[in-house]
Amino acid sequence: MEQNFTYDSLFNFSKLVFEKMGCSNKQATEAANVLLSADLRGVDSHGVARLSGYVRLWEAQRVNAQPDIKIIHESPSTAVVDGDSGLGLVVAPFAMQVAIDKAKNAGTGWVSVQNSNHFGIAGVHAMMALEQDMIGIAMTNASALVAPTFSTEKLLGTNPIAVAIPAGKEPAFVADFATTTAANGKLEILQRKNKPAPAGWVQTKDGSQSTNANELKNGGALLPLGSDREHSSHKGYMLGSIVDIFSAILSGANYGPWVPPFPAYVPMPQNMPGKGIGHFFGAMRIDAFRTAEDFKANMDQWIQRFRNAKTVAGEEKVIIPGEPELEMEAHHKKNGINLLQPVIDDLQSIAQKFELTLL
Amino acid sequence: MEQNFTYDSLFNFSKLVFEKMGCSNKQATEAANVLLSADLRGVDSHGVARLSGYVRLWEAQRVNAQPDIKIIHESPSTAVVDGDSGLGLVVAPFAMQVAIDKAKNAGTGWVSVQNSNHFGIAGVHAMMALEQDMIGIAMTNASALVAPTFSTEKLLGTNPIAVAIPAGKEPAFVADFATTTAANGKLEILQRKNKPAPAGWVQTKDGSQSTNANELKNGGALLPLGSDREHSSHKGYMLGSIVDIFSAILSGANYGPWVPPFPAYVPMPQNMPGKGIGHFFGAMRIDAFRTAEDFKANMDQWIQRFRNAKTVAGEEKVIIPGEPELEMEAHHKKNGINLLQPVIDDLQSIAQKFELTLL
């Protein structure tokens, strides 16, 4: 069972919830904007379905609703931002804006963030750079669900990377992907449908192959992009490691198995070496390299050449990164956002808690 | 059949060959250094086995042995370098040095390169940053051998990414990987042994699965990291695309299917939109974020934690990126470098051409 909601109703509801948590009007607006952008783009796992998770983190006092987010170290093209335990949904736009401001003067800006929390959908942060004719980059570490190649222990998060690149007449190129073979959200869909997972997505607690979509509950792990050694899982492991190090070791956040969990009921790791979760953002001004006009003309040609490539039988076209999400966005803006009953129930219980009405 | 050579003998021979091509003493030394670093690190496919390929590119007048390599555009943290059709082995260290010099002042340096050629082993360029307490990044595009997800056409090169990160007592973290499931060098090994390739490495010209290690000769293609859609080949496709765009569209080099081929007998693409091959380099000063001391202490802990993780039965330890290559380097420095007979024959024919002696 599902029900349709307008963007505005879900945006306003989310904003009110963040305000009830104690967020300022400005921060509540920013947080609701990031959250709803995920629903618009069809990345349901990072949208309002997570709102209750953020509320529980706040209830567990793992999130500070009135953070003093600030730069604690900087150079002409870099900064480290302390998120003061704020919502990642708010810390991330702050830090991305610092990267953009640095890029205006220095050509590029690079910001590593400590003491933050789950920042929602990576792609939307990276896309902040587009309207400035900049390339935007966003990545974050996350609590450990992934076993490096040869390991039975979970030491890395799904550690996503997003890169947004402006084009001319064509829509921007927006890549946004977990460094695992399958994102956790895809496993959750299979769990709800009681279906098996394809081989190569997860391993058992001993590191054997598994097709059990619930294997993580038995001590198993997600697999890095590549799945197994023969298919270069060490490359996914390296990518996830780079995200971890850029996000947390450059900033002084927690890394590897010490990253704080998103679910508030999961205990915090012992002997944490840093502060909170870490992120990493970048902004590169196109005209610090070439005129934006020349760059965009080449991007348009690139996009058209790839989109019009000959396809494998049965496939309509080669997909340009970001295009499906853009189509989703147009669809959801026009037709509203469908939510599944468990998500609606979740939102209703938040409404009750804060004496709000979910329209 | 194989034969053992000292590092010095192969270095000196390669250097003399580059000098015979017309390179200056300085550039011949640099080129030989990059080439031999690959042999030392066990990346045979990018070492002296490729020397004859560079000679043939020079004979075909696709390489300029006396290039005027220069910055053609810059900002405090960025530059575009024109390689003037020089050997990538020489253009790359020049551009990486520009990135390092920019980072000294601006905190980071980012250099996109046009009008270059094959730059050899990516990791060694990235590693130039290590002795400055910087993170180094190197990537390059290459001629199209890879089919994006759903495509039967080859539109991307193996487009490698290298990231070198300094540590304290531990050796540096050095990731260096093609954005494909299998590098072309691994297929060549199977071809020589007349063995099949694992499923997921290549596809036929129609985009069907294949285990034929010679499938590229039939019009087939390498597959992006992830192998197929179910195992997220679109992520490998996105990674390869990002490398292509950063290397070539930021610089004004050729991209996608228009990248010049390495083998001199392969005709140049028609209607090339840019100049030569493109690269992208980055350098980030650690202390533009945090003290190098704190950073390195955390890196040591990260490395030790991962190396000592519990392993899948039969595996000795979790591998830290760069460790196997470092062990290889020590081994080859001590014991010399073994070359296969076809490589020796190749070097002998170069020796004859230039009236040199291969010791």
Residues in chain A predicted with pLDDT less than 70, given as ranges, are none
| B-interface mutation test, from A114, A130, A151, A228, most B Cβ less than 10 A away | A151
Distance (Å, whole) CA A130 – CA A259: 30
Closest by Cβ to A306, choosing from B155, B201, B294: B155
* Whether the predicted pLDDT of B189 surpasses 90: no
According to DSSP, the residues that pair with A161 across neighbouring strands are: A139, A177
* Whether the predicted pLDDT of B303 surpasses 90: yes
B209 burial via Cβ count (<10 Å: 0-12, 13-18, 19+): middle
B272 touches A: beta carbon within 8 Å? no
Instruction: Cite the residue boundaries of each domain of chain B with CATH code 1.10.1530.10.
Output: 1-59+326-359
Q: Could you say which residues from 27 to 86 on chain B have a Cβ atom under 8 Å away from some Cβ of chain A?
A: 73-78, 80
Query: How far away is chain B from the Cα of A22, in angstroms, using its nearest Cα?
Result: 31
Closest CA in chain A for residue B282:
A108
Look up the CATH superfamily of B182-222: Hypothetical oxidoreductase yiak; domain 3 (3.30.60.50)
Q: What is the pLDDT of residue B327?
A: 97
Which residue in B110, B112, B117 sits closest to B136, CA to CA?
B110
Pairwise CB contact (< 8 Å): B238 & A175:
yes
Specify the DSSP class assigned to residue B172: P
**Sequence-separated (6 or more) residues with CB below 8 Å from residue B241:** A173, A175, A306, A321, B148, B156
Question: Using an 8 Å Cβ cutoff, are A325 and A171 in contact?
Answer: no
The string over B164-193, giving b where at least 16 C-beta atoms fall within 10 Å of a residue's C-beta and e elsewhere, is bbbbeebebbbbbbbbbbbbbebbeebeee
Reported as a pLDDT band with limits 50, 70 and 90, residue B185 is confident
Residue A267 CB neighbours (<10 A): 8
Could you identify the residue written with the tokens 């285990």? B211
Query: How far away is chain A from the Cα of B249, in angstroms, using its nearest Cα?
Result: 6
B241 touches A: beta carbon within 8 Å? yes
Distance (Å, whole) CA A177 – CA B232: 9
Distance (Å, whole) CA B85 – CA B347: 24
A154 burial via Cβ count (<10 Å: 0-12, 13-18, 19+): buried
* Whether the predicted pLDDT of B257 surpasses 90: yes
Q: What is the pLDDT of residue A225?
A: 98
Pairwise CB contact (< 8 Å): A256 & B305:
yes
Residue B326 CB neighbours (<10 A): 16
**DSSP strands (E only) in B28-96:** 70-75, 78-82
Residue B313 CB neighbours (<10 A): 8
Chain B partners within 8 Å of A311 (Cβ): 150-152, 207
**Sequence-separated (6 or more) residues with CB below 8 Å from residue B198:** A230, A231, B182, B211
* Whether the predicted pLDDT of B86 surpasses 80: yes
Which residue in A283, A320, A327 sits closest to A299, CA to CA?
A320
Pairwise CB contact (< 8 Å): A150 & B107:
no
Residue B274 tokens read as 């840019």
Helix (H, G, I), strand (E, B) or coil at B287: helix
CA angle B282, B287, B291 (to 5 degrees): 145
**Sequence-separated (6 or more) residues with CB below 8 Å from residue A257:** A144, A153, A154, A155, A269, B305
Chain segment B122-160, per-residue pLDDT in tens = 999 999 999 999 999 999 999 999 999 999 999 999 999
Reported as a pLDDT band with limits 50, 70 and 90, residue B188 is confident
Question: Using an 8 Å Cβ cutoff, are A277 and A253 in contact?
Answer: yes
* Residue-wise DSSP of A23-75: --HHHHHHHHHHHHHHHHTT-GGGTGGGHHHHHHHHHTT-S-SS---EEEEEE
Q: How far, CA to CA in Å, does A259 sit from each of A156, A235, A239, A271?
A: 9, 21, 17, 11
Closest CA in chain B for residue A163:
B242
Q: What is the pLDDT of residue A184?
A: 84
Closest by Cβ to A312, choosing from B152, B238, B317: B152
- Indicate the CATH number of B1-59+326-359 among 1.10.1530.10, 3.30.930.10, 3.50.50.60, 1.20.140.10: 1.10.1530.10
Which residue in A80, A129, A67 sits closest to A101, CA to CA?
A129
What fold is seen in the domain A1-59+322-359? Hypothetical Oxidoreductase Yiak; Chain: A, domain 1 (1.10.1530)
Chain segment B269-292, per-residue pLDDT in tens = 999 999 999 999 999 999 999 999
Q: Any idea which architecture B67-180+226-321 has in CATH?
A: 2-Layer Sandwich (3.30)
Question: Using an 8 Å Cβ cutoff, are B96 and B125 in contact?
Answer: yes
Closest CA in chain B for residue A235:
B177
Closest CA in chain B for residue A72:
B289
Reported as a pLDDT band with limits 50, 70 and 90, residue B202 is very high
Instruction: Cite the residue boundaries of each domain of chain B with CATH code 3.30.1370.60.
Output: 67-180+226-321
Pairwise CB contact (< 8 Å): A251 & B289:
yes
B177 touches A: beta carbon within 8 Å? yes
Pairwise CB contact (< 8 Å): B231 & A236:
no
Q: How far, CA to CA in Å, does A5 sit from each of A12, A48, A333, B143?
A: 11, 11, 10, 48
Chain B partners within 8 Å of A288 (Cβ): 74-75, 77-78
Closest CA in chain B for residue A255:
B302
Which bin fits B320, alpha (ψ -120 to 50), beta or left (φ > 0)? beta
What fold is seen in the domain A67-288? Ribosomal Protein S8; Chain: A, domain 1 (3.30.1370)
pTM strictly above 0.95? yes
The string over A85-105, giving b where at least 16 C-beta atoms fall within 10 Å of a residue's C-beta and e elsewhere, is bbbbbbbbbbbbbbbbebbee
Question: Using an 8 Å Cβ cutoff, are B107 and B76 in contact?
Answer: no
Closest by Cβ to A226, choosing from B105, B226, B311: B226
Instruction: Cite the residue boundaries of each domain of chain B with CATH code 3.30.60.50.
Output: 182-222
* Number of alpha carbons in the 13 Å side-chain half-sphere of residue B19: 12
Pairwise CB contact (< 8 Å): B181 & A105:
no
Which bin fits B355, alpha (ψ -120 to 50), beta or left (φ > 0)? left
Question: Using an 8 Å Cβ cutoff, are B143 and B137 in contact?
Answer: no
Instruction: Cite the residue boundaries of each domain of chain A with CATH code 1.10.1530.10.
Output: 1-59+322-359
- ipTM of this complex prediction, to 2 decimal places: 0.98
Edge-to-edge strands, sheet with A277-285: A70-75, A78-82, A108-116, A277-285, A134-140, A161-165, A173-177
Instruction: Cite the residue boundaries of each domain of chain A with CATH code 3.30.1370.60.
Output: 67-288
- Find the mean pLDDT for residues B245-249: 98
Distance (Å, whole) CA A107 – CA B76: 6
* Whether the predicted pLDDT of B359 surpasses 80: no
Distance (Å, whole) CA A175 – CA B145: 21
Distance (Å, whole) CA B192 – CA A357: 70
Chain segment B19-70, per-residue pLDDT in tens = 999 999 999 999 999 999 999 999 988 999 999 999 999 999 999 999 999 9
According to DSSP, the residues that pair with B74 across neighbouring strands are: B79
